[in-house]
Structure 1
Amino acid sequence: MSMQGYLRHIERLNHWSPGNFKSLFFQGQRIGRLKQPVWKALGQWSDAFRQDDEGLHLQGHYDSFEARTGLFAEITSTLVDEGVISHIHGEQYPVTHAGRETAIATMDRASAPYFGLRAYGQHLNGFVRHGEVLKLWIARRSADRRNFPGCLDNMVAGGLPYNISLAENLRKECMEEANVPPSLANRAISVGVLTYCTETAVGLKPDTLYCYDLELPGDFLPHNSDGEVAEFMLLPVDEVARLVAKSDEFKLNCNLVVIDFLVRHGIINPETPGYLDLVQGLHENI
């Protein structure tokens, strides 16, 4: 299959125009990027933000984690009421210039792209070996999902809230999305992270995905308990590769998770022209 069939997904998820954004800083560190409707709306909080040619600066008198979190909660609630932000999700994401451990506050998950916050997720490839053939469990998202309804998805995938460990969140997502018991979920192997940065109509998504492989028993049958998945399919890895390369059936970032799996398991060949561009493109930074 043509390497361009895979590369197009990476290119779609790494396309943005810096000129469309103002940076949001705290103590000289960039913590987000804002499109015009949001940075204009923040003028209501003139005591909280100072504006200059570089961007907007969160003022130092918000001098505690709790005070900054409270400010962002007030902003989010107000901007939802004003129709600038679509909704409140209910999970708290870190506001940070680097990793989750450097968070200076938290903000509702739905606000993250409006503020250009780096968001974190976990995606798990559930696979089975049938002799020499690898098969992947693929989920189809429910038709009532707010984002990408009816699209294909990794067997387990979810956001990573601030106040939970990676191991605990992975166990929770495995149980909710595919009824993988904790004893089996604990066998998942961490295989690295993927990063991308994409502009949306409302903001910016500089996302980090923690990825995992979990080899499952041949008789394991996933089933969903939180209503997010319509069905699961066990597909040969060559068929999954074809779907990624030839179609747009997968939720956008799930393509990257599958491509990474194909690279690590040698199914995408390093002899193929464009291989290095593909691998490097899975780890874009801003």
Structure 2
Amino acid sequence: MVKSYLDLVKECDTFPYYHDDPEFYKEHLANYHSFHVSGCKAVLGYIPNAVVEKFSWPEHCWAIDAATRTVTLVAPQDAMPEQRSDLMAETLAQAVKGDDFEVLKGWRNEKYPIYGPGGQFLFEMERSATPLFGVVSYGVHATCYVQDSDDTSSLRLWVPRRSRNKQTFPGMLDNSVAGGMATGERPFECVVREAMEEASLPEDVIRANATAVSCITYHYVRDARAGGETGLLQPEVEYIYDVKLDASITPKPCDSEVEEFYLWTVDQAKEALANGEFKPNCAVVLIDFFIRHGILTPETEPDYLEIIARLHRRLEFPTASHAT
């Protein structure tokens, strides 16, 4: 099946929108418990009911209300983020010990920050566990490209293939550089780190050539390709960078996450998109690249307006600014 650009966007931004069908949206939310932290009024994420039922919640730090479908991490009113983080870590350690969730078998030993209204840092948690709670996570994606002239026909893109042994989206195509932002990390520094770790690109090259160009937001519902339980929610903020490289610079796999890199024409990338070969969020990053470089325009794409809107979803949960 050939996929349109809008098909690919919808495949990444899969959680329903209230304004499309308010009644369906309300009915759909009945499949989830809302995630809260005591002392914070905001909903921080949605947890599937099946996950709530399967978790072994330590009673001294969790309040589960079946009537209101809420799950609340209970901590003292004056609790510091470290205290909440410790309670979450205790909960997850118990889940790992009980072998309760497949997704936790991809334990990364990386901590992701969770924010409340106004960007208040509430606590941090293990990266692989974030989809269980449906909280917002942050990352960076960069497209490395070579362009000999202003004509887009000369533009070529560095496209990596993910390792076939990865737990998530094995063997699928990816963006040149991509990764999650750990607690306290800034977007640009994350790009520099990931470029070195995943593509063997020198730090000085990235610092000189990486340009912040966009930000994409979406609310993804994990399918079987993501590894682990299906139906988990993954709302994400991705900071987008372009990296124009000299033809003499070649990205190379540096860790076990990337199998190989291809230097593709725009037409080759378009064909792979249409065939559904790209990881869902990497497909939308590439679509955003096409829009910004005049490859995808209102005159050539009938779904242009909806694509633009869906690439910049206003998420249902608090988000944080990463301005210094």
Scaled by the length of structure 1, the TM-score of the pair is 0.92
Mapped to 1, the partners of 2:55 and 2:194 lie a distance apart of 35
- Structure 1 runs of 4+ with >6 Å offset: none
Match of 1:266 among 294, 304, 307: 294
Counterpart amino acid of 2:70?
Answer: G
Structure 2 unmatched ranges of 5 or more? 16-27, 223-229, 317-324
Tell me the amino acid that sits aligned with residue 104 of structure 1.
L
- Pairing partner for 1:188 from 210, 215, 218: 210
Residue 42 of structure 1 deviates from its aligned partner by: 5.1
For residue 113 of structure 2, what is the amino acid of its counterpart?
A: P
| Residue 82 (structure 2) aligns with | 66
Q: CA deviation at 1:73?
A: 0.5
Residue range with higher mean Cα deviation, 42-51 or 10-19: 42-51
Residue of structure 1 equivalent to 2:100: 84
Separation (CA, whole Å) in 1 of partners of 2:231 and 2:88: 17
Aligned partner of 1:241 in structure 2 is 270
1:133-144 matches, within 5 Å, as 133-144=154-165
Partners in 1 of 2:71 and 2:258 — Cα distance? 40
Distance 1:171 1:188 in 2: 9
Which residue pairs with 2:31 in the alignment?
A: 20
Look up the equivalent residue of 1:221 and give its one-letter code: T
Structure-2 separation of matches of 1:221 and 1:127: 10
Unpaired runs of 5+ residues, structure 1, are: none
Do 1:33 and 1:115's aligned partners in 2 also have CA atoms closer than 8 Å? yes
Alpha-carbon displacement from aligned partner over 1:143-179 (angstroms, at most 9, x marks no partner):
1111111111111111111132222221111111111
1:253 aligns to 2:275 (yes or no): no
The CA deviation string for residues 6-44 of structure 1, in whole angstroms up to 9 with x for no partner, is: 111111222234222110112211112111243235563
In 1: Cα distance, 2:61 partner to 2:217 partner: 31
State the distance in 2 between where 1:204 and 1:98 align.
20
Seen in structure 2, the aligned counterparts of structure 1 residues 98 and 28 have a Cα distance that, compared at 3 Å, is: closer
Distance 1:77 1:59 in 2: 17
Aligned ranges for residues 216-227 of structure 1 at < 5 Å?
A: 216-227=245-256
Shift in Å, 1:98: 5.4
Equivalent residue number for residue 116 of structure 2: 97
Mapped to 1, the partners of 2:117 and 2:167 lie a distance apart of 28
Matched, 1:38 2:51: yes
**Hey, what does 1:107 align to over in structure 2?**
125
Which SS does the other structure have where 1:140 is aligned? strand
Identity %: 32
Q: Secondary structure at the match of 1:223?
A: coil
Supply the distance in 1 between the matched residues of 2:183 and 2:124 (Cα, whole angstroms): 7
**Does the 8 Å contact 1:37/1:84 carry over to 2?**
no
1:224 partner SS: coil
- Residues paired across the two proteins, number: 282
Which residue in 2 is equivalent to 1:29? 42
The alignment yields a C-alpha RMSD, in angstroms, of 1.9
**Matching residue's letter, 1:208:** V
Q: Distance in 2 between matches of 1:247 and 1:60?
A: 48
Amino acid at match of 1:189: T
Matched residue of 2:9: which SS? Answer: helix
Separation (CA, whole Å) in 2 of partners of 1:11 and 1:47: 41
CA distance in 1, matches of 2:277, 2:117: 32
Residues 212-267 of structure 1: CA deviation (Å, up to 9, x unaligned): 001000111111211211111111112212321x2111111100000000001110
